[in-house]
């Protein structure tokens, strides 16, 4: 083996990563509202971009000099290759760009704890009781339940008292050393706080549980229901007795056992249990801080005649074009310094690229949605039971794009259809084999299962094995454990607990 240093030359073709490529990935990923905000920020940052007004939407013909300048300065972007490769070009994002971050502004709203604290302050309570009550409120979770035991709350508030007593003791010692006896005597005469007792804590919890909304401060579901039934003066009813005395049997739907225990008819037990449906198992959620999620669909599918047409819902999106006034300034190169020329070239190229990237995003989304509409036509015509299985890879192969590109297009995007506003991910699901050789969508299987249960005889509900046989009669091969899994996903109880008398 010969050792030593040597040099050699080689040629290879590669795509260099730049900040714009990462920005293109983000723009493809952004939902409509995020993209609108992003374009507004670009309008503020780049003087070569301006809004295209509706009356100005006539195509402008660039002159020969402008075309030449654009070819010289514009960084060419092979969109077909980028989308086909799924933006996978190597490098790390942090190397090339630092995205501007805008701190979101929060709007102050009154939450559950604020409402409870206001009610406590309006009651005739001492400062000591308010301190204990505030400690309880700090341990109430979003659902309205007390998330700590009474003993834990008591220990926490007594720690505050201990710290206060320690501070008082230190103040008294300092006063006794530096003041006369009369001053020290006055400090000792002050009313010092004492530790809270378990009886005080239990009393305060009872006060909190009488606040609005009913059921607040409960330690479990049973106590929450009992508080609400008590507020309705329903403590002597069979419903109250079922919750108070036989809650485990009640949630297990053991109607016959409960009927024997309370000496009533099984139908009366069922009717009493049905009365619990008017109660709120999570009374705190109505005052949750979670804001409503407003959805603006990115695409619209409309049936025109016998065909389904796909449109982009981009009427509210800023339409951009190159600023004519700044283009005139850019042409006068003799009056510019090298630094100015470099700045103008950079902003001009960035503006051109932004306009191209927006158009490419539009075309990519239309391609993906048009294929989905063609593939899922039966769903649009007949309903979710006719939804066909579909994967990202299948779409990518048909429209000649990379799978990750399709994933970015479909992520967090919504489409308005004749069957409602749906996420694009709705149309993608795994496949189950059928006797005919065609695959069935897992989502359509769940819809059929829900329909079977909805149409069953409540006195003799379908077991999982019976549902398997019904699917087999339709030519769909499915295991019992798969039926159980789909039933759990749909929130459907087992047959024994669905049975009605």
Q: Any residues with CB less than 8 A from the CB of 403 and at least 6 apart, and which? A: 86, 392, 393, 396
Do 20 and 91 meet the contact criterion of CB atoms below 8 Å apart?
no
**Mean pLDDT lowest among 86-95, 139-148, 244-253:** 86-95
Q: Could you give the percent of the chain with pLDDT greater than 90?
A: 13
Average pLDDT over residues 339-349: 74
Sign of CA dihedral 80, 83, 84, 87: positive
pLDDT digits (tens, 9 = 90+) for 14-70: 555 455 565 666 666 677 777 777 777 877 777 777 776 554 555 555 555 556 555
Measured distance CA(393)–CA(431) in Å, rounded: 14
pLDDT category at 5 given cuts 50, 70, 90 is confident
Kindly tell me if the per-residue pLDDT of 284 is higher than 70.
Answer: yes
pLDDT score for 472: 84
Contacting residues for 152 by C-beta, under 8 A, at least 6 apart = 139
pLDDT of residue 204: 92
User: Confidence band (pLDDT; 50, 70, 90) for 199?
Assistant: very high
State residue 346's pLDDT score. Answer: 76
Give the pLDDT confidence of 129-178 residue by residue, as tens digits. Answer: 998 999 999 899 989 999 999 999 999 888 888 877 777 677 777 766 55
Higher pLDDT, 464 or 339: 464
Strand (E) or helix (H) holding 24? helix 19-29
State yes or no: pLDDT of 233 exceeds 60. yes
Between CA 283 and CA 206 the distance in angstroms is: 16
pLDDT > 80? residue 226: yes
- Residue 408: count other Cβ atoms within 10 Å of its Cβ: 23
Q: What confidence category does residue 477 fall into, taking pLDDT thresholds of 50, 70 and 90?
A: confident
Q: How far is CA 73 from CA 65, 182, 370, in A?
A: 12, 89, 35
Q: Where are the alpha helices (DSSP H) in 189-312?
A: 198-208, 221-231, 238-245, 247-251, 255-262, 266-274
Least-confidence region, from 262-271, 314-323, 420-429: 314-323
CA–CA dist 214, 283 (Å, integer) = 7
Mean predicted confidence (pLDDT) in 208-228: 92
Higher per-residue confidence, 76 vs 168: 168
Percent of the chain beyond pLDDT 70? 72
Of the pLDDT bands very low, low, confident and very high (cuts 50, 70, 90), residue 6 is confident
pLDDT at 223 over 90: yes
Q: What pLDDT shows up at residue 445? A: 84
Mean pLDDT of 263-274: 89
CA distances from 55 to 58, 59, 92, 461 (A): 8, 11, 43, 65
Q: Is it the case that residue 103 has pLDDT exceeding 60?
A: no
Q: Inform me whether the pLDDT recorded for 95 exceeds 50.
A: no
Give the integer Cα–Cα distance in Å for 162 and 258.
50
Distance CA 176, CA 185 (A): 9
Task: Output the pTM of the full model.
Answer: 0.61
pLDDT at residue 459, rounded to an integer: 82
Q: Alpha-carbon distance 242 to 251, whole Å?
A: 10
- Of residues 196, 65, 228, 64, the one with CA closest to residue 129: 196
Residue 289 has pLDDT above 80, yes or no: no
User: Between 444 and 344, where is the model more confident?
Assistant: 444
- Of the candidates 36, 27, 34, 22, the one whose C-alpha atom is nearest the C-alpha of residue 364 is 27
Question: pLDDT band at 190, cuts 50/70/90?
Answer: very low
Q: How far apart are CA 256 and CA 323, in angstroms?
A: 80
Name the β-bridge partners of 322: 49
Best-predicted range by mean pLDDT among 2-11, 183-192, 311-320, 475-484? 475-484
pLDDT at 209: 93
Which residues, 6 or more positions from 214, have their beta carbon under 8 angstroms from its beta carbon?
227, 228, 231, 280, 283
Residue 409, classed as helix, strand or coil, is: helix
CA distance to 278, 423, 437, 473, per residue, from 378 (Å): 39, 18, 18, 21
Structure confidence by residue, pLDDT tens digits, 377-428 = 888 888 888 888 888 888 888 888 788 878 888 888 888 999 888 888 888 8
Q: Is 51 helix (H, G, I), strand (E, B) or coil?
A: strand
Residue 353 has what pLDDT?
77
DSSP 410-453: HTT-EEEETTEEEEGGGG-B-EEEBTTS-EEEHHHHHHHHHHHH
Nearest-angstrom CA–CA distance, 60 and 256:
81
> Over 344-381, what HEC string results?
HHHHHHHHHHHHHHHHHHHHHHHHHHHHHHHHCHHHHH
Query: For 416-456, what is each residue's pLDDT tens digit?
Result: 999 888 888 888 877 666 665 556 677 888 888 888 888 88
- Buried residues in 38-75 as b, exposed as e (16+ CB within 10 A): bbeebeeebebbbeeeeeeeeeeeeeeeeeebeeeeee
- In this structure, are residues 236 and 242 in contact, taking their beta carbons and an 8 Å threshold? no
**312 pLDDT tier (thresholds 50, 70, 90):** confident
DSSP 297-346: -SEEEEEETTEEEEEE--TTSPPEEE-HHHHHHHH-GGG--HHHHHHHHH
Instruction: State how beta strands 299-304 and 414-417 pair.
Output: parallel
Compute how many other C-beta atoms are within 10 angstroms of the C-beta atom of residue 95: 9
Tokens 């008591």 correspond to 154
Query: Where residue 84 falls among pLDDT bands split at 50, 70, 90?
Result: low
First to last CA, the chain: 90
pLDDT band (50, 70, 90) for residue 480? confident
Looking at every residue in the chain, the average pLDDT score rounds to 77
Look at residue 293 in the predicted model and tell me its pLDDT. Answer: 66
Q: What pLDDT score was predicted for residue 333?
A: 63
167-176, 257-266, 347-356: which has the minimum mean pLDDT? 167-176
């Amino acid at each position: 083996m010969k050792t030593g240093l040597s040099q050699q030359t080689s040629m290879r073709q590669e795509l260099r990563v730049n900040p714009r490529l990462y920005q293109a990935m983000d723009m493809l990923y952004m939902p409509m509202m995020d993209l609108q905000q992003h374009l507004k920020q670009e309008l503020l940052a780049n003087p070569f971009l301006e809004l295209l007004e509706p009356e100005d939407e006539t195509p402008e013909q660039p002159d020969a000099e402008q075309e030449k300048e654009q070819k010289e300065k514009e960084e060419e972007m092979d969109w077909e290759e980028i989308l086909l490769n799924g933006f996978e070009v190597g490098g790390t994002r942090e190397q090339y760009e630092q995205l501007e971050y805008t701190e979101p502004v929060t709007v102050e709203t009154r939450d559950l704890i604020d409402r409870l604290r206001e009610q406590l302050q309006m009651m005739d309570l001492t400062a000591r009781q308010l301190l204990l009550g505030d400690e309880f409120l700090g341990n109430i979770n979003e659902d309205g339940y007390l998330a700590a035991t009474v003993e834990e709350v008591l220990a926490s508030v007594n720690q505050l008292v201990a710290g206060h007593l320690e501070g008082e003791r230190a103040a008294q010692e300092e006063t006794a050393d530096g003041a006369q006896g009369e001053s020290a005597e006055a400090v000792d005469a002050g009313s010092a706080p004492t530790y809270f007792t378990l009886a005080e804590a239990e009393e305060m919890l009872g006060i909190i549980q009488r606040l609005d909304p009913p059921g607040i401060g409960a330690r479990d579901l049973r106590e929450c229901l009992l508080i609400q039934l008590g507020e309705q003066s329903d403590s002597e009813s069979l419903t109250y007795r079922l919750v108070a005395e036989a809650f485990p049997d009640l949630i297990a739907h053991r109607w016959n056992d409960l009927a024997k225990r309370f000496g009533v008819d099984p139908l009366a037990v069922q009717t009493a249990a049905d009365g619990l449906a008017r109660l709120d198992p999570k009374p705190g959620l109505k005052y949750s801080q979670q804001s409503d999620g407003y959805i603006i669909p990115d695409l619209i599918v409309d049936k025109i005649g016998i065909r389904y047409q796909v449109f982009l819902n981009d009427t509210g999106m800023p339409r951009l074009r190159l600023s004519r006034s700044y283009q005139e300034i850019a042409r006068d190169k003799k009056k510019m310094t090298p630094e100015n020329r470099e700045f103008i070239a950079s902003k001009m190229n960035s503006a051109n690229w932004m306009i191209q990237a927006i158009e490419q995003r539009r075309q990519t989304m239309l391609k993906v949605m048009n294929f989905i509409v063609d593939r899922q036509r039966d769903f649009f015509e007949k309903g979710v039971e006719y939804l066909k299985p579909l994967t990202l890879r299948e779409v990518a192969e048909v429209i000649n794009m990379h799978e990750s590109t399709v994933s970015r297009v479909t992520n967090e995007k919504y489409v308005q259809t004749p069957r409602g506003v749906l996420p694009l991910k709705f149309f993608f699901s795994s496949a189950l084999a059928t006797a005919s050789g065609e695959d069935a969508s897992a989502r359509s299987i769940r819809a059929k299962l829900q329909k079977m249960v909805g149409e069953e005889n409540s006195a003799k509900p379908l077991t999982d094995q019976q549902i398997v046989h019904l699917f087999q009669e339709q030519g769909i091969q499915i295991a019992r454990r798969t039926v159980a899994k789909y039933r759990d996903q749909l929130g459907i109880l087992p047959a024994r607990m669905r049975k009605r008398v």
